[in-house]
Chains A and B, each alone.
Chain A
Amino acid sequence: MLHIYCPHCGEYREEEEFHCAGQAHIARPLEPEACSDQEWGEYLFFRKNPRGLHHELWVHAAGCRKFFNMTRDTQSYEIKEVYKIGEQPSVVAE
């Protein structure tokens, strides 16, 4: 069970309160209509899925209901840091 620090609440809470929304920092194409099928497909479905450091988007679903980012090791499950939307990670996955 992950023990997660919510940067909005300023507290550690149990994983049960949170929901992982997948890979972080995926920007929606500014002009979707201008995308090729290839680009649109990549945006919607193709993911990094690394064995190691990963940047993820999480939501404190049963708490403040706000979104934030997390850098986590997908092998050891260690959480390296959490940071707010709009911020950049200080520990960077390759």
Chain B
Amino acid sequence: MQKYSGFGLFKHSLTHHENWQRVWRNPTPKKKYDVIIIGGGGHGLATAYYLAKEHGITNVAVLEKGHLGGGNACRNTTIVRSNYLWDESAALYEHSMQLWEGLAQELNYNVMFSQRGVYHTCHTLQDMRSNERLVAANRLQGIDNEMVDAEQLQKEIPSLDCSKNARYPIMGASVQRRAGNARHDAVAWGYARAADALGVDLIQSCEVIDMEISDGKITGVKTKQYGVLKADRVGCVVAGNSGVLAKMAGFELPVESHPLQALVSEPIKPFLDTVVMSNHVHGYMSQSDKGDLVIGAGIDGWVGYGQRGSYGIIEHTIQAIVEMFPCTSRVRMNRQWGGIVDACPDASPIISETPIKNLFFNCGWGTGGFKGTPGSGNLFAHTLADGKPHPIAEPFSIQRFHTGALIDEHGAAGVAH
């Protein structure tokens, strides 16, 4: 792997940047792998990287039906935080957070992880109570999260309307100062490059259309482009398409796929150096380094695979943003798009064995899996290597929907991704 550095940038500028190495190979698939990972999004690529790096399993292929990182990995609004409510989630998201903190160094790839803080505004007494509860829970878990009152909030974010004139006046907010955002594409590309360097085959334009299952055991997958590829173990990490893949394997998941939209504005001068989200008014916003406002809100309430959502949602989202930041009322939107998010009934993910032996699913991250990318990959690699889950991943088994041990994170997830 060619090492990236400031010096390298200078050196290559002398030859007009025409001699950079290809970032990853473009191999033809082998007939048989130790592990096949279906889905080349952030989570799939991270899984491949940690399999090779931490478990020494390098005879691995990632099969991606489109191009690497072209799904939700490149459609999300990049919020990273770890202030969820329950101990199980705290362990999971904090594991991820700590990997984020060293990720750019580890991958030798600038993922632009920026710990600019994430605020959750409170507009009702109930909001205040539930956020105070969250803060208290996080403190006990050793995770930073604190309350600020409206006056302090106004000082920290001058453009946010904290006045009494707002339709839903802000009473206070919780803030995780270690939270923030990162460059989504870079995360997928960084993991892809590092996994490739360790010998993982990244196979693009390779769609899995069926599974080879006999005696309740998976032996490989059938692809549209390369026929059957054999594997000892298969990990499925296809986000919004999890239901489709589960159907191929002959079972159902406690997951429904919904369109989730985002918008970005024209670039404007820097005025917001943090991330603000409101569960109550229902919208969130940050400003990218390019200057565009990155905006999002809720899902469409029905199952949808179209990677586009309803106009009504866009209208509500914009109403919420203008309510919170009246100064943005005349900013024009540049682009809008949708991704398909795989939502679980308890708003927590599934990292799990399945009814089929040697087939494992990592899905259900819903509207908030970008932040989980490093942790998810790290833990799922453990599951694929050992055939049984890492202790942090254990509570996230599909079994919880039968035992009733749900991990209800609707409060902490909310609009907040």
Contacts and interface: CB of A to CB of B under 8 A. Distances in A.
Contacts of A45: 254, 345, 401
Nearest to A47: B256
Given A2-B310, A50-B247, A51-B241, A74 B305 contact: yes
Contact of A50 (B243, B311, B401, B403): B243
Interface stretch (B28-36, B75-83, B202-210, B296-304): B296-304
Given A46-B253, A74-B305, A77-B304, A1 B312 contact: yes
Interface string A53-81: 01010000000000000001011110000
Contacts, number: 72
B301 A20 contact: yes
A75 B401 contact: no
Interface residues of B, number: 25
Contacts of B311: 1
Interface range for A = 20 to 34
Nearest to B346: A45
Contact of A46 (B304, B401, B404): B401
B253 A20 contact: no
B312 A22 contact: no
Interface string B235-261: 000000111100100001111110000
Contacts of A2: 310
A42 B403 CA distance: 11
B102 interface: no
B306 interface: yes
Contact of A48 (B243, B310, B345, B403): B243
B243 A19 contact: no
A72 to B, nearest CB: 7
A47 B255 contact: yes
Contacts of A41: 254, 401-404
Interface string A27-45: 0000000000110111011
A15 B312 contact: yes
Interface in B251-299: 252-257
Contact of B312 (A16, A46, A72): A16
A49 interface: yes
A15 B312 CA distance: 8
Given A45-B401, A75-B305, A77-B304, A1 B310 contact: yes
A15 B315 CA distance: 13
A51 B305 contact: yes
B65 to A, nearest CB: 13
Given A16-B312, A72-B302, A76-B306, A49 B401 contact: no
Given A42-B252, A54-B303, 7 more contacts: A22-B256, A45-B345, A49-B243, A49-B255, A49-B257, A50-B243, A51-B244
